[in-house]
A and B are shown apart, each in its own frame.
Chain A
Amino acid sequence: MGEIRLMKGNEALAEAMIRVGCDAYFGYPITPQSEVLEYLSEQDPMSRTGMVILQAESEVAAINMVHGAAGCGKRVITTSSSPGISLMQEGISYMAAAEIPCVIANVIRGGPGLGTIQPSQSDYFQAVKGGGHGDYKLIVLAPSTVQEMVNHVKQGFELAEKYRTPVMLLADGAIGQMMEKVELFPQIPRKKDSELPQEWATTGRGDRKLRNFITSLNIQPEKMEEINLHLQEKYRTIEANEVQYEANNLEGAEYIFTGFGMGARICNKAAELGRAKGYKIGVIRPITLYPFPVAIYNDVASKVKGIFDVEMNAGQMVEDVKLAVSGKTRVEFYGRMGGMIPSPEEILENFEKIFIK
């Protein structure tokens, strides 16, 4: 067993970056994820592993530093919260196009605009449907515990490097701020220069005939379409192989509660309260928001009376649930916005209002 600690989600995220052998972190502080940079500064990762941390002058600068360093084949990560992630969208689109692996964590706060610093899940669309311009996808992991904040950093880099694509961790202010028991994985050494991906990374020409070249600019439409086709083929592979979800009490369920991240944990409690009242409720929690676990929803759709989707937003993932069930069952939504968190009792009450009465 690894080392057990009691940590804030943001601190655990920062510790996991050091342990996963990151070469660099570039970021700009913003509530509710400021503890990431605070923790990194305190830990002095340069002395622990040689990892660079740098407070950029803005989120725009941070994401472009990620672009540059990750383009050299290094393990690079950045974190921010909603408005900061909006600023990063151009860089994210460029990296998706140029197939540069990296991890970006969004500890969501209530929006739109500068909004509030309280937890929210209102950046689902931004993370899952593009956010930046062009036909691209990010692999999106949604942690629901402090433990998953740690696990998803490791898994995020594995996926990013396997598919040469940016990966986003979509957390929220509550997971960032709360403390839970967490088991840390042992230190993974940083990659040596000889271990960097020689086939694409800009590591210097060396013995190559031609230098590696990273760009997202392709003026000729024929060439740009080719690149698009290649990206789409990659996304289909990801959809076929990387779906992750958690489900419980599906056997004999008449209703399904569903949500992601923190919303899913509250849903699970609401479902427990509901089962105690005699309702047959199962729960599905997507762990990968992209690729979305389409099959499991489609599979349960023909067996249940309805699906109740709960999110801390105005109804975003619910659109993907509706697409997945393709009209086979009733899908209803309940959500709170602007940094408000629904309680388990409130969820159950609204379920009863909608489905039972």
Chain B
Amino acid sequence: MTEEVIFAGFGGQGVLSMGQILAYAGMMEGKEVCWMPSYGPEMRGGTANCNVIVSDEPIVSPIISTYDTVVALNQPSLDKFESRIKPGGTLIYETSTVTNPPTRTDIKVIPISANETALELGNQKVFNMVVLGAFLAERKTISDEGLEKGLKQALPERHHKLIPLNMTAFAKGKEFVK
């Protein structure tokens, strides 16, 4: 099993940490992992992305140009990465920030409203866990227990009291996938 995914959106949406949590979780489950961020003149409100590879095999190249899954959290990311999904792959996108929905028919498209869910939960910062919930419900790259372990690794100790809220957000995110 190899999952090649890109998380892409606005800086400040937790895009990079979303990928890191997945990478940590993969490592906790004994898989090979690689997390590669876009870095550079990035800023809050600008675009940011990271690609993550989780695999049972050693990872040959961390540089990839096509993806099993694209998680697009704003319009520019959807425009940029929709064409790079492998046929039969998955596209997850956030409806509140995407005005022109995707057009491809050879992939599975999952619209989510993670923004709304995070607001309902009273903490905008759990947005990324809602998204991860939707992603893992569809792609099943790692187990829920593995994810929680990864979250513990990725979060600094002082934020560990927020883990239950994050896991609630994660569970809510899973509901987007039927």
Residues of A bordering B, CB below 8 Å: 4, 6, 31-32, 116-118, 173-174, 177-181, 262, 265-266, 268-269, 272, 341-346
With A4-B27, A6-B153 in contact, do A343 and B37 touch (Cβ < 8 Å)? no
* Chain B, range 23-66, C-beta contacts under 8 Å to A: 23-24, 27, 32-37, 39-41, 59-66
- Report the bound CA distance from A117 to B38 in whole Å: 11
- CB-CB under 8 A from A118, the residues of chain B are 40
With A32-B39, A179-B34 in contact, do A346 and B65 touch (Cβ < 8 Å)? yes
Residues of B bordering A, CB below 8 Å: 20, 23-24, 27, 32-37, 39-41, 59-66, 153
Given A177-B36, A269-B61, 19 more A-B residue pairs with CB atoms under 8 Å apart are: A6-B24, A118-B40, A174-B62, A178-B36, A178-B37, A179-B34, A179-B36, A180-B34, A180-B59, A180-B62, A265-B61, A266-B63, A269-B60, A269-B63, A341-B63, A343-B63, A344-B61, A344-B64, A346-B65
B31 and chain A: residue at smallest CB distance: A181
- Report the bound CA distance from A348 to B61 in whole Å: 14
With A177-B39, A179-B20 in contact, do A265 and B62 touch (Cβ < 8 Å)? yes
7 A-B contacts (beta carbon < 8 Å): A6-B27, A32-B39, A177-B36, A177-B37, A179-B33, A181-B33, A345-B65
B34 and chain A: residue at smallest CB distance: A180
- CB-CB under 8 A from A272, the residues of chain B are 60
> Contact between B23 and A343 (Cβ–Cβ < 8 Å)?
no
With A6-B23, A117-B40 in contact, do A180 and B65 touch (Cβ < 8 Å)? no
- CB-CB under 8 A from A265, the residues of chain B are 60-63
- CB-CB under 8 A from B32, the residues of chain A are 181
- Report the bound CA distance from A269 to B34 in whole Å: 15
> Contact between B33 and A180 (Cβ–Cβ < 8 Å)?
yes
> Contact between A117 and B33 (Cβ–Cβ < 8 Å)?
no
A146 and chain B: residue at smallest CB distance: B34
- CB-CB under 8 A from B24, the residues of chain A are 6
- Report the bound CA distance from A262 to B64 in whole Å: 12
- CB-CB under 8 A from A173, the residues of chain B are 39
A180 and chain B: residue at smallest CB distance: B34
- Report the bound CA distance from A173 to B37 in whole Å: 11
> Contact between A178 and B62 (Cβ–Cβ < 8 Å)?
yes
- CB-CB under 8 A from A181, the residues of chain B are 27, 32-33
- CB-CB under 8 A from A343, the residues of chain B are 63-65
- CB-CB under 8 A from A344, the residues of chain B are 61, 63-65
Measured CB to CB, the closest approach of chain A to B171, in angstroms, equals 24
- Report the bound CA distance from A272 to B58 in whole Å: 13
Measured CB to CB, the closest approach of chain B to A342, in angstroms, equals 8
> Contact between A117 and B61 (Cβ–Cβ < 8 Å)?
no
Measured CB to CB, the closest approach of chain B to A10, in angstroms, equals 11
Q: Lowest 8 CB-CB distances: which A-B pairs, in order?
A: A269-B61, A343-B65, A179-B35, A178-B36, A269-B60, A265-B61, A266-B61, A268-B60
Measured CB to CB, the closest approach of chain A to B2, in angstroms, equals 12
- Report the bound CA distance from A341 to B87 in whole Å: 24
- Report the bound CA distance from A173 to B34 in whole Å: 15
Measured CB to CB, the closest approach of chain A to B125, in angstroms, equals 21
- Report the bound CA distance from A345 to B61 in whole Å: 12
- CB-CB under 8 A from B66, the residues of chain A are 345
- Report the bound CA distance from A117 to B42 in whole Å: 12
A342 and chain B: residue at smallest CB distance: B63
- Report the bound CA distance from A32 to B27 in whole Å: 25
With A6-B23, A6-B24, A6-B27 in contact, do A174 and B65 touch (Cβ < 8 Å)? no
- CB-CB under 8 A from B34, the residues of chain A are 178-180
Measured CB to CB, the closest approach of chain B to A263, in angstroms, equals 10
> Contact between B60 and A174 (Cβ–Cβ < 8 Å)?
no
Most A CB within 10 A of own CB, among B39, B41, B59: B39
- Report the bound CA distance from A56 to B118 in whole Å: 45
Measured CB to CB, the closest approach of chain A to B157, in angstroms, equals 14
- Report the bound CA distance from A4 to B30 in whole Å: 11
Measured CB to CB, the closest approach of chain A to B38, in angstroms, equals 9
- Report the bound CA distance from A237 to B33 in whole Å: 39
Measured CB to CB, the closest approach of chain A to B153, in angstroms, equals 7
Most B CB within 10 A of own CB, among A31, A179, A342: A179
- CB-CB under 8 A from B64, the residues of chain A are 343-344
Measured CB to CB, the closest approach of chain B to A134, in angstroms, equals 36
- CB-CB under 8 A from A341, the residues of chain B are 63
Most A CB within 10 A of own CB, among B24, B32, B59, B61: B61
- CB-CB under 8 A from B39, the residues of chain A are 31-32, 117, 173, 177
B20 and chain A: residue at smallest CB distance: A179
